Amino acid sequence: MATVSCPECAAELTLVEGTEVGELIVCSDCGVDLEVTSLQPAAVQLAPREEEDWGE
């Protein structure tokens, strides 16, 4: 298991075994969505926001 820091609130998060690159996780402290960008070394970044389609 690896630990990473939330880029939004600096909380320490533990990546569970089986976590994959590209997986989305939620910070347990601030609730922001994070994307796992690397496992060796472990790293996360703010997940891209999905834009509303509004039927366009």
Q: Which domains does the chain have, with CATH numbers?
A: 2-46 (2.20.28.160)
Going residue by residue through the chain, which has 56 residues, state the pLDDT in tens, using 9 for 90 and above. 799 999 999 999 999 999 999 999 999 999 999 999 999 999 999 998 776 666 65
Q: How far apart are CA 27 and CA 55, in angstroms?
A: 31
What lies within 8 Å, CB to CB, of 44 at 6+ separation is 4, 6, 7, 13, 25, 34, 35, 36, 37
Q: b/e per residue, 7-26, with b = 16+ CB within 10 A?
A: eeeeeebebeeebeeeeebe
